[in-house]
Amino acid sequence: MPSWHNYSRRHLINIWIQGARPRTLPAAIAPVLVATAAAGQNWRPLHALLALFVSLTLQIAVNYSNDYSDGIRGTDDNRVGPIRITASGLAPAHTVKRAAILSFAAASIAGLFLASLSSWWVILIGIASIAAAWGYTGGKNPYGYKGFGEISVFIFFGVVATLGTYYVQTMQINWMICAASIPMGALSCALLAINNLRDRSRDAEVGKRTLAVRLGDLGSRRFVIGLLLSAYIFAALTGKPWALLSLITIPQAYAIARKVLNGASGSELIPLLAKTGQLQLVFAIAFALGLGL
């Protein structure tokens, strides 16, 4: 295998873009978009942009840290899904770790600036988010290996991201934004649930007790369907009639649900990850428009 130093600049950039896993980024954009629209006339452009930057850099940091941690443990060997740069030898492990740290640092700096403009309590949220991001697959007892990954994604990339973005712009929390945060968490969680369903057999072999491993094949598929359904249920519970604009994405959700229930597995689930990311983004745009009207 050639040394990574011998790759062309263009190839190196490609490697790091792959490592950042662009298809997961809608999970970082969607909650900020929805919360900013929900803020209505109280929205603050600088606060919203900082919140978006923090969310994106945290998502990228999570992706690099997972790549590094899984890579050095050997749990990404013979991977079915997208290439991981550590496990495949496309970059040294210490370099991937450095990329994760730099991404966390960028999120922290922007978060500090955002806290200075809104509330210093935001710092505590940031610390908890970074700890959760690293602890997912990093450290001696990664909770992602014990079936708690979906809970963390639901909380931090759904509830916390939505409520936090809304709070730094309006300095308040209400029932509407709490209900609006659930679809964001559910759809982010659906991304991870499909990812873990794809890797279920391999994860079981290497000792990763993800939720998909714990639930089994049928239970995992039903879980994905439940997550998709809950997004529409809680959109309706916001009390905003125009929030039902999100229903225009039902055909997308149905197409995903049908393939999941029909037994798509392994590499067949890879396109569904992209489609679920697209669903979350289109849902968020329609939902945001409805909340803003």
Of 20, 155, 191, residue with least CA distance to 100: 20
Which residue range(s) make up the domain with 248? 4-292
What is the three-state SS of the chain? Answer: CCCHHHCCHHHHHHHHHHHHCHHHCHHHHHHHHHHHHHCHHHCCHHHHHHHHHHHHHHHHHHHHHHHHHHHHHCCCCCCCCCCCCCCCCCCCHHHHHHHHHHHHHHHHHHHHHHHHHCCCHHHHHHHHHHHHHHHCCCCCCCHHHHCCHHHHHHHHHHHHHHHHHHHHHHCCCCHHHHHHHHHHHHHHHHHHHHHHHHCHHHHHHCCCCCHHHHHHHHHHHHHHHHHHHHHHHHHHCCCCHHHHHHHHHHHHHHHHHHHHHCCCCHHHHHHHHHHHHHHHHHHHHHHHHHHHC
Q: What is d(CA 275, CA 270) in angstroms, rounded to the nearest whole number?
A: 9
Task: Please tell me the predicted confidence (pLDDT) of residue 5.
Answer: 55
Output the six-digit token pair for 274: 């992209």
Provide the CATH number for the domain around residue 232.
1.10.600
State percent of the chain over pLDDT 70: 95
Domain count, the chain: 1
Task: Please tell me the predicted confidence (pLDDT) of residue 96.
Answer: 93
List Cβ neighbours of 89 (8 Å cut-off, separation of 6 or more).
Answer: 1, 4
Task: Please tell me the predicted confidence (pLDDT) of residue 9.
Answer: 73
Q: Pick the more confident residue, 78 or 275.
A: 275
Residue 149 and residue 220 in contact, taking contact as beta carbons nearer than 8 Å: no
Q: Among 34-48, 49-63, 85-99, which is the least confidently predicted range?
A: 85-99
pLDDT value at 160 more than 60:
yes
* Region at 39 (left for phi over 0; alpha for psi -120 to 50; beta for the rest): alpha
pLDDT digits (tens, 9 = 90+) for 232-267: 999 999 999 999 999 999 999 999 999 999 999 988
pTM of the model: 0.91
pLDDT value at 291 more than 50:
yes
237 phi, psi to nearest 5 deg: -75, 0
pLDDT value at 179 more than 70:
yes
Q: What angle do CA 143, 146, 149 make, to 5 degrees?
A: 55
List Cβ neighbours of 175 (8 Å cut-off, separation of 6 or more).
Answer: 239
Residue 121 and residue 164 in contact, taking contact as beta carbons nearer than 8 Å: no
Q: What is d(CA 260, CA 278) in angstroms, rounded to the nearest whole number?
A: 16
Of 40, 107, 173, residue with least CA distance to 115: 107
| Tally of CA atoms within 13 A in the half-sphere of 262 that contains its CB | 10
Average pLDDT over the chain, rounded to an integer: 91
Q: Which band of pLDDT confidence, cut at 50, 70 and 90, is reported for residue 2?
A: very low
Place of tokens 């490592």: 19
Task: Please tell me the predicted confidence (pLDDT) of residue 90.
Answer: 84
List Cβ neighbours of 105 (8 Å cut-off, separation of 6 or more).
Answer: none
